[in-house]
Amino acid sequence: MSAHKDTSPKKVTVRSLLTRKQSGEKIVCLTAYDASFAQLIDAAGVDVVLVGDSLGMVVQGLETTLPVTVDEMLYHSQLVHRGVKHALLVVDMPFLSYTTVASALENAGRFMKAGAEMVKLEGGADQAGIVSALVNNGIPVCAHLGLQPQRVHKIGGYRVQGREASAAEHMLHEARVLQEAGADLMVLECVPAALAKKISKELTIPVIGIGAGKDCDGQVLVLYDILGASPGRQPKFAQNFLQGAGSVAAAIDAYAEAVRSGHFPSAEQSFN
């Protein structure tokens, strides 16, 4: 009688993501907003599924992510949780849901109870106290630097961040502070490729890029962007993987393979 070998994919955890960074294996991330797409993404072996507040723009048809509420994020988190078995499930903390330690703990706790395994929040060193409080209460945190969509009005639009030498040095400092505060993961959005490479090499935690060049530890894109389903919104750093793929599942597979092989992003999808 032969022994049965379990070939099912292992559950992705904070620890296994760290191991991937250390081994140089690229981390694949993608957004999802419902159970059906989440199941397809999970079946493709994507490592991290993000319930992004980007749903405000790609699902709700809003101009920014700012109006998205905690209750809406909870609803979509519950849907996505039903479709995810393998990937690490990360949920965005929406605008003004983490202005104090008390509000951050309350809202992050609700997301964790809804199935999240990590929460993501925007902001630099000013968020170190919030990050520390969440981590100290057993809630893993993904930090987010560079272009921060929740601060779009403050920064004057969707612009690349960190091009000036002083801004680049400041971002590196903030990345160090957030890591020291206990962040387990970091997203860099719309950051010059050279700066993203420097931050990725300096930090011990995994760094996930979106419009931040090929040298980050992994990549994330909005699902609708890889399917060419964001009319008028297709950003420079995205690619339509559905074109020529034949199916949504094949497009997700193609995206995952392109990230793992280092073919995505190319120089065309990066910033100097």
The set of residues, in sequence order, having a beta carbon less than 8 Å from that of 110 and lying 6+ positions away, is 70, 74
The set of residues, in sequence order, having a beta carbon less than 8 Å from that of 192 and lying 6+ positions away, is 160, 162, 163, 168, 212, 213, 271, 272
Is 189 considered catalytic here? yes
Q: Give the residue from 140, 139, 137, 157 showing the smallest Cα distance to 148.
A: 157
CA distance 253 to 232: 25
CA distance 256 to 252: 6
CA distance 219 to 28: 6
CA distances from 107 to 61, 114, 123, 133, 168 (A): 24, 11, 17, 13, 31
Give me the catalytic one of 117, 122, 174, 189.
189
Q: Are 64 and 235 in contact (CB under 8 A)?
A: no
In the chain, which residue ranges form alpha helices assigned H by DSSP? 14-23, 35-43, 55-58, 70-83, 101-113, 128-136, 152-155, 165-181, 193-202, 223-226, 248-261
What token pair was written down for 230? 């964001």
Active-site residue list = 189
